[in-house]
Every structure is written in structure tokens, then in C-alpha cells.
Structure 1
Amino acid sequence: MQETPQDGDRQRLDAAGITVVVGTFFGAFIEGVPLFAAAGTLALPRAWFFLVLSFVAMLGQIILVARQDPELVNHRGRWKKKRDAKRWDKPLVIAFGLLGFYVVPIVIGLDVGRYRWSSLGTWWLALGTALYVFGTVLITWAMLVNTHFETVVRIQTDRNHLVVTDGPYRFIRHPGYVGAGLWILAAPLIVGSACGLIPVVLVAVTIVVRTRLEDRTLRRELPGYADYAARVPYRLLPRIW
């Protein structure tokens, strides 16, 4: 017999969930530290715009999700304690975090503030903003319809793990990764750093690797996923992959 979440876990945030909300609140500032430190100056209006956009988007997202599904936020906050997480996954989570939220901002800062290797005009700012907003909408939508949107890859037998086919999952199988990738891609476009796109390629590699491994795991271990994959053939990009 499968265990079901406790009523309290569904209805309110616990300490782990509160940690997620607080971490999200400070997330944009954490990104700003390596960026401005590498730049050697605070006089970067586009960088400030990016940080404000990130703050508003990320905080708005977590508030929406926490109001609708506090259980999910609680479980996302316990990701380090998930002993049934796939062994290959936590290193990929850490690599994504380091590359996306430290390496990319550092390269951007070195580029636009200290050495000025490259620049991108205001058209790129508009494009980056649109991509960031779209990525936020996509991730938020996925989290609102998928209570199993945890931080690490595992078969959630303790939470009656089911295949989700609603929302963005009608079009691609891993919309959260697309949204996260758009977040990272948008950063150098908004701030104006062509060189910042170089480490974004490494982020994309981690996303593709994790998507492939997760998809293989779900096909093998989650009942109904193989049939879902047959109906929705694309992992990340419609008509491509």
C-alpha cells in the first residue's frame, strides 16, 4: 500500500518549504554578487534590470506555487535528503547550479564591466526579456499542474507518482528544463554580453544529459510513461527533440 502525504504537508509550508521561499527571495541577489564582483563596478543598468526582473519573476513564481501546492515546495526543499534519488542526478543538479548561477554571471561581469570584450544592443535586451518571461511562465505552469515537480529525479512511490499530461506536458515532456534553459540564456542577452553565451552552451549540455537520463528512467520505472512518450514524442523542442 502506498503512503499518501499528510494533510498538514499538503496545507502548509514546513521548515524545508520556508527555506525554499527564503532562498528564492535572495536568489537574484546571489546571482548579482558574482556578476558585480567580476565586473568591478555597480554601474551596469542592464544588470540591475536583469536582477530586478529575476527577483520579481522568481518570487512571484514561488508564491503562486506555495499557495496552490505547499507540499511540492516542501519536497523541493528536502532534495538533499531524498535517498532514492538517482545517483547520477545530484551531481547534475549541482553542475547546473554552479554553471548557471555562478559561472555565467562571472563571465558576463568580466565581459561587460571589466574587459568589455563584447556587447549586445537593446534589441537583444528586448529578446532576452521576452525569453525570460516566457521561461518563467513555462516553469510556473509546469509546477502548478505537476505536483511531482521535485528537485531531483526519483520515482516518488511515497507520493503516488503518476504521469502528468496536462498543461505544457501536452506539447513537450520536460517543459521545466526548457524554462530553466531560457532563464540562463536570457541573462547574457539582457545584460548585453555575447561572451556570456559561451558558458550557456555548457548549461545546455547539462540540461540535455539530464533530460535524456531522466526520460530513460521514467520510461523504465514509471507506469504509463512509455505510452505518454509515444503520444508526446518531443522531450524539449517540438519538431526537433
Structure 2
Amino acid sequence: MGAGAKLIPKLLVQLAVLLPVIALFLFGGAGTWRWPSAWAYMTLFAALSIAVSLWLAVIDPALLAERMKSPVQPDQEVWDRYFLGGVMVVYFGWLALMAVDARRMAWSHVPLWAQVAGALLIVASYAGIAWVFRTNSFAAPVIKIQAERHQSVVSNGPYAFVRHPMYAFGIWQFVGGPLMLGSWWGLALTPLIIGALSFRTLGEERMLRTELAGYEDYARRVRWRYAPGIW
């Protein structure tokens, strides 16, 4: 059995734990199981997560193994442990808010075309993140230097255009998710989420500039963090 194949059982267990938690906040907030948009959202989330993870198991099992590690690690930046803990609380609260808004109280009325557009944004986000994974084998979910894997600066693929393409592509999910679920209130919180990601980005850059050889020169060549001409 190859290295990637050995990771698949653990991957499936992690998803089997995560999906019911997401369902709890979505359907609990909605107050009903009869919410087609939430079922469609969860199905799309599960399908794309499994597809990208199985693909990674084939092309880069070392990266998949890195991404499946605990969100709290000994060599992780200390502040990032607290940040990720806060992110999980905010994320599940965001799901519950969208459920209350779109289903329980029916405050928002998002047209079908916008919900379809939201689903397409989520697919595009996963495709972009897959491009990042294909390019950067050091794309860990926590902020740290992977000395044991001989981490080096990556400057090709999407990194030739922006310094943090994973965040840039990930933002599309925070736009697509509320649209797909039909929550204008969820979409209204997206700028706050982007602000939190920007804070993490600046902290990550401080570490990379001081601890990763060659990153300072790379940052001078590639000026933009998320979007050329914007930031």
C-alpha cells in the first residue's frame, strides 16, 4: 500500500467527524432538516473535499499528511494556535447565523441564479486551491517553517502573481457559501472574515521574511498579496 493510500482511512474518519458538526450548526440553526440549499451545500463541500484529498493522496501524499495534522502543533507560531481556535468558533457561528437568516427566520431572499453562482464560486475556489497544492508542497494549514521537509520559497504557478494565492482562492468560498445557502447576512460578514485572513497573512509574512531564506527577495519581486493591483 502506497503512502497516499494509507492516509485515506484517516481522511474519511476526519470527514465523518466534521460533516455532522457542520450539519448540527446548519440544521440546528434552521430548526428543520427540510432545507434543500443546505443539503446541496454539504454535498458539494463533501464531494470537493474528498476529490481534492484523494487527488493529493496520489500526487503529493506528504502534503496531504501535513494538512491532516492537528491544528495545534509544537513548532507552530503560538499566536496562530489562538487564531485558528477563534476561526473555528467564528466559522460555526457563521453557519448558524446563515441558517437562522435563510431558513428559520427567512429574512433573506436570494434568487436562484445567485445561489447557482455561489456554488460555482465554491467549485472555482477548490480548483484554485488545487492549483496551489500542485505548485506548493509546503502549503500547510498552520503557520510554521517545515524545516524537516526542507521548505523553500515557491515562486511559480499562482505564486508568480500573488504571494498568498491560497487565501485569495479561499475567500471565494466565503462569498459563494452565503450565496448558495441564501443568506445576505452571511455575505455581509464576509468583509470581516477577509479582515481576519489579512491579519493572519501579515503575521505569516513577518515569520517568512525572518525565517525563510529567499522570501524577502521574492516579496520584492511579487508585490501583491491577494490580488494584483489591489493588495
- State TM-score, norm by structure 2: 0.91
Structure 1 gap segments, 5+ residues each: 1-7
SS at match of 1:164: coil
Residue 33 of structure 1 corresponds to which residue in structure 2? Answer: 24
1:46 aligns with 2:50: no
**Aligned-partner residue type, residue 59 of structure 1:** I
1:21/1:203 CA distance change after superposition, 3 Å: farther
Deviation at residue 203 of structure 1 after TM alignment: 2.0
Task: Kindly provide the amino acid, as one letter, of the partner of residue 117 in structure 1.
Answer: W
Partner of 1:205: 195
Q: Aligned partners of 1:30 and 1:81: how far apart in 2?
A: 19
Tell me if structure 1 keeps the 8 A contact 2:71–2:141: no
- CA shift at 1:211, angstroms? 0.7
**Residue equivalent to 1:11:** 3
Q: Which residue of 1 aligns with 2:49?
A: 58
Greater Cα offset, 106-115 or 39-48: 39-48
1:179 — aligned with what?
169
Equivalent residue in structure 2 for 1:161, among 146, 151, 165:
151
Q: 1:107 aligns with which of 97, 106, 119?
A: 97
Distance 2:29 2:216 in 1: 46
Q: CA contact under 8 A between 1:155 and 1:161: conserved in structure 2?
A: yes
What corresponds to 2:229 in structure 1?
239
Q: Which stretch shows the higher mean deviation, 176-185 or 155-164?
A: 176-185
For residues 43 and 185 of structure 1, what CA distance do their matches in structure 2 show? 23
Kept in 2: contact 1:119–1:193 (CA 8 A):
yes
Match of 2:89 among 98, 110, 128: 98
Separation in structure 2 between the aligned mates of residue 87 and residue 192 of structure 1, nearest angstrom: 36
CA distance in 2, matches of 1:45, 1:194: 17
Q: CA deviation at 1:187?
A: 1.1
Partner of residue 214, structure 1: 204
5+ residue gaps, structure 2, are none
Whole-Å Cα distance in 1 between the matches of residues 135 and 211 of structure 2? 21
TM-score normalised by structure 1 residue count: 0.87
* C-alpha separation in 1, matches of 2:77 and 2:209: 14
Matched, 1:139 2:129: yes
Q: Identity over aligned residues, as a percent?
A: 30
Rounded Cα–Cα distance in structure 2 between residues aligned with 1:135 and 1:98: 22
1:62-82 per-position Cα deviation (integer Å, ceiling 9, x unaligned): 111121111112222234463
- 8 A Cα contact 1:76 1:150, kept in partner: yes
Q: 1:185 to 1:26 in 2, by over 3 A?
A: farther
Shift of 1:27: 3.8
User: Measured at CA, do residues 187 and 152 of structure 1 come closer, stay the same or move farther in structure 2, by a change above 3 Å?
Assistant: same
1:26: Cα distance to partner?
5.1
- 2:78, 2:60 → 1: CA distance? 27
Aligned to 1:78: 69
Contact 2:109 2:182 in 1 (8 A): yes
Runs of 4+ in 1 over 6 A off after TM superposition: none
Q: How many residues end up aligned between the 2 structures?
A: 231
